[in-house]
Amino acid sequence: MDKSVMPKVFSSHHHWYSATLDSLKTVSSTTKSDKDKTSVPEVIYTYENAMHGFSVALSSKDLQTLQKMPGFVSLYPDRSVEVDTTHTTSFLSLNSVAGLWPASNYGSDVIIGVIDSGVWPESNSYKDDGMGEIPKRWKGKCEPGEEFDASMCNRKLIGARYFNKGLIAETPDLIISMNSARDTDGHGTHTSSTAAGNYVEGVSFFGYANGTARGVAPRARIAVYKVLWDEGSFASDVIAGMDQAIADGVDVISISMGFGRYTPFYEDPIAIASFAAMEKATLTLGNGLVIAGWSLYPIDQLLRAVPLVYNETLTACNSSDLLSKFAERAIVICKDVQKSYNWELYYSTQDYSVGQSTVSGAIYVLNEPHSLYQELDYFHYPGVIINSTDRAKVINYAKSTTEPKVTIKFQQTFVGGEPAPFVAKYSSRGPSRIHPGILKPDLIAPGTKVLAAWVPNKLTSIIGRDTQLSSNYNMIQGASMACPHASGVAALLKGAHPEWSPAAIRSAMMTTANPLDNTNKTIKDNDGLVPATPLDIGSGHINPNRALNPGLIYDVGTQDYGDLLCSMNLTHEQFLTITRTSSYNCSNPSSDLNYPSFIALFNKTSTVQEFTKTATNVGSGASTYRANIIQPNGTRVTVTPKKLLSFTVRIKDRKQRAGYFVSGSFTWIDGEGKHRGRSPIVVMDA
């Protein structure tokens, strides 16, 4: 559900969801002899942290009605869970002499939430010998149930909950054999003790592997969330467990399960609950207005009902003395940055001044509604960035009352922002410096604030002046982050089409890439805030699902690459260095590689260039393709013949361009409109 459209009359998301279902009054009959009766579907779970939504048992008719209601986003059926396996500490090369264990004090006071089949609390791995007091931030509990009471938790096993409402909804008459957090399968006990079990000496498997057993983080705390049952396991219960783990305050979620290889990301509860496109903070004004801003302040901090200060004499947050004078222990609204100003310098200057002052935090304003600030790498002090659209709302509120207040909640993640994607400032631009005759880049892929595993003994963030933080995961950016996205898609395509060559895979990825963002406009270039060109994005943003079935591919063989190298006036040594053999025949050198993009380079004497290409039909059955051409300004592009498979593209340039370039495209479209193979065109001076 889209929680942002929840009417203010509702006190909570649960109230809203329940009221939504109350309107779905339907008539149902359980047996032929029963009288018709009115039934209201009941909420099974409501989700607030892992996602915004709820699980419910509905009829097909009610389902159709629900889809038309305000706030509805998407739905998918509950599905069964498939269990995966874990690994051992020896494989990770953990030791007490150097590395992660001593650097992290063996995970002291880290809370690991294990989403699995429960726990066997009597195991020696859950003894709390050597464990200090439970962290005060812990909000969870030890939930009693069958053969399980609250006394079974301790300073090691600090929480235990269980979730099976989804399972019961699937089979209402089901009798749960162990209706508690107690593990009857063994999988949950194995995974949780592997993650953070305490030291147990003299352990062996019937004499094998004798020694001391301990978890990866033996001094960490364990909280278990039982969602896997002997009678079955369903996604709705898994989401409920993850949702509760987040609410309870776990630091790490360990979840060794999945939902099948064919489950798309938008229907995978684990992917939905874990995925982060960008980090934000929520800013709530005293009048109830909620604004989503941007922040990477790395502490789970809540600044609640703090005084809000907007002082027009405070022209910028670049003086710690003035900040302390006008906004002591308050949130200050800083002056917005001008279009021509260096944003990174502006932010770092004000962030430093805020840190040296006595203010509680700051609200920074970017004068353009775009995502340049998302490339910032740090927030040393509590702060949030808002756009110029929201600026007036905040300032108007600050002026409207004698005691304005604001609440800022950090460490929240939202997805689905617009516009996206955009080309980052650091992204490599074309044309190719090595061989301008081939249009580069090929395409673009995600590379900004990508979350992935990290070495835990290396600096990842700084709080205040000198408090350094480390993390097992980090969010960084660069072309190096975009590359593995493209590599992964290529690997998937190779698995689906093992007969395809590397060139065919590249072709499929390029001709199906999307030049438009999620607002259906041309992707923007963050370096100048102008529409991106093929020299910025190539064919566009990678689209994995479309690349699976491109319809047409442009293949390239080894001799074709050899012909290209032959045309580049390389020395024999240079040629041999690349090819590692002299067997290539250079009798027919050609720079016209069978590439799925075009760049025409003209000098003062040339006015026409021709490209000969061959496209191969890899679709199902015979198809007829016709060309759709978008002419670059001031040029004439013709394709002969108008139908495939071998064809010639002729580009005639009508004028000299004095260094600037124009772009267009042509697209092969099959007769049924199922396949569209798009190729960008760039025309520029040589």
Distance CA 342, CA 363 (A): 18
**At which residue do the structure tokens 């390389």 appear?**
570
DSSP 127-165: --TT--PPPTT----B--BTTB-GGG--SSEEEEEE--H
Axis crossing angle, helix 502-511 with helix 479-496, rounded to the nearest 10 = 110
Distance CA 65, CA 355 (A): 52
Strand 598-602, strand 676-685: pairing: parallel
The shares of helix, strand and coil residues in the chain, as percent rounded to the nearest 5, are 25, 30, 50
Order across the sheet with 252-255: list the strands: 157-162, 221-226, 111-116, 252-255
Between the two ends of the chain, the Cα-to-Cα distance in Å is: 53
Beta bridge partners of 285: 406
Task: Pick the closest to residue 511 from 554, 557, 561, 560 (CA basis).
Answer: 554
Distance CA 385, CA 317 (A): 13
Catalytic residue selected from 52, 78, 117, 187: 187
Distance CA 114, CA 98 (A): 27
Task: Pick the closest to residue 215 from 107, 64, 61 (CA basis).
Answer: 107
Task: Pick the closest to residue 310 from 330, 283, 338 (CA basis).
Answer: 330
How remote is the C-alpha of 409 from its chain's centroid?
20
Catalytic residue selected from 116, 243, 351, 525: 116
- Evaluated on CA atoms 49, 53, 54, 57, the torsion sign reads negative
Distance CA 188, CA 162 (A): 12
DSSP 92: G
Assess whether 256 carries a catalytic annotation. Answer: no
Question: What number of residues does the chain have?
Answer: 686
For 88-92, the CB contacts below 8 A with 24+ separation are: 88/194, 89/194, 89/214, 89/215, 89/216, 92/216
Distance CA 593, CA 398 (A): 62
Distance CA 538, CA 551 (A): 20
Assess whether 116 carries a catalytic annotation. Answer: yes
DSSP 529: T
Catalytic residue selected from 80, 388, 480, 606: 480
Q: Helix, strand, or coil here: 609? A: strand
Could you tell me which residues come within 8 angstroms of residue 677 by beta carbon, excluding any fewer than 6 positions away? 511, 512, 550, 551, 552, 596, 615, 625, 667, 668
Distance CA 306, CA 554 (A): 61
- Both tokens assigned to 287: 């009048």
Give Dmax over CA atoms of the chain in angstroms. 92
Q: How far is CA 373 from CA 343, 489, 492, in A?
A: 8, 28, 33
Distance CA 334, CA 352 (A): 13
Task: Pick the closest to residue 89 from 172, 174, 213 (CA basis).
Answer: 213
Assess whether 87 carries a catalytic annotation. Answer: no
Catalogue the E-assigned strands of 433-568: 450-453, 459-463, 467-470, 473-476, 524-525, 530-531, 552-553
> Which positions are annotated as active-site residues?
116, 187, 480
